[in-house]
Amino acid sequence: MLTKHIFFLFSLLLFISCKEKIQHEDNFLIYQVDSKKQDVKMYWKNNQNEILKSIGNLKNEAESDNKKLLFAMNGGMFEAYNTPKGLYIENFKILKPIDTLQGSGNFYLQPNGIFYITQNHQPGIIETKNFKHNTAIQYATQSGPMLLVDGKINPIFQKESKNLNIRNGVGILENGEIIFAMSKKEVNFYSLAQLFKGMGCKNALYLDGFVSRAYLPEKNWIQTDGDFGVMIGITEPK
C-alpha cells in the first residue's frame, strides 16, 4: 500500500511538472544560455556608430562580421532617440550613467536593478542601490523593477493584477546560466516573476513591455522588427 502511495505521489509530481513545462512553452518564449560557453553581448550601435534599433539590423550586423545570430531580445528601456535608459556599459565603456533619480513608470518601480556580464563571462543581477562599478564589467544594462530578489517575488506585485502586457525579462540560475524570457501573450508582473522563480532563478529583472521582441529561429520564433535602444544577442561563428 505504501509503495502504491509513493508511486501515486511521484506520478502526480511528474504530471504537475510536465503540465507546468507545457504552460511555460505555451505562454513564454524561453532561452537558456551559459555565458561561459556562448557569446552573450549587448548592442546599441553598429560599426558606423549608427543606432541598430531593430533585431533585423542586429542580424545584418552579425552576418557582416561573419557570425550567425542565434538569439536576440531587446535589453532594457530607452529614452528619446533610442538612448538607453539608465546605466549602459558596452565593451567596458560607460556609455550612459546610472540613473538613481525618482520618477514615474515601470523603470522607477522599486527595486530597480542592473543586469551585467563581466570579462570572465560571469553574469549577475543586482539591485541598483547595491551596485558598485568595477573595471571587470564588460556589459551592463539598467532596468526595473526587479522581478525576484533573493528568490522572492517582488512584494509590490499582485497575483490577480489586471495590468497585462507583453513583457520580457532576464534571470540567473543557481549554476550561473542565464534565462531570457518573453511572454507570448499579455501577462502581469507576478506571472513573469513566477516563471523565473519556478525555473529556479534567485534574481530576475524586468526589461520592457509591449514593445518587446525576440528572435529564436530554433523555435521558429522570428521577430526582426523593433525600435529599441539596447539589445542582447547571442552569436556563433558562421
C-alpha to C-alpha distance for 217 and 27, rounded to whole angstroms: 17
Helix (H) or strand (E) holding 205: strand 201-208
Residues of the chain with pLDDT under 70: 1-25
Give the per-residue pLDDT at 12.
40
Please state the pTM of the whole predicted model.
0.89
In 3D space, the residue among 205, 146, 211, 144 whose CA is nearest the CA of residue 179 turns out to be 205
Q: Which amino acid is at 11?
A: S
Strands 113-118 and 88-90: unpaired
State whether the Cα torsion 183-185-188-191 is positive or negative.
negative
In 3D space, the residue among 94, 100, 102 whose CA is nearest the CA of residue 113 turns out to be 100
Decide: 211 and 227 in contact? Cβ < 8 Å. Answer: yes
Residue 96: count other Cβ atoms within 10 Å of its Cβ.
21
Give the per-residue pLDDT at 26.
79
> In which residue are the cell numbers 553574469 written?
123
Q: What is the grid cell recorded at 233?
A: 544577442
Give the per-residue pLDDT at 102.
86
Q: Where are the domains of the chain?
A: 29-237
C-alpha to C-alpha distance for 101 and 84, rounded to whole angstroms: 15
What is the DSSP annotation of 65-134? TTEEEEEEEE-S-EEGGGEESS-EEETTEEEE-------SSGGGSSSPEEEEEETT--EEEEEGGG----
Give the per-residue pLDDT at 104.
85
C-alpha to C-alpha distance for 100 and 158, rounded to whole angstroms: 25
Residue 208 bridge partners (DSSP)? 168
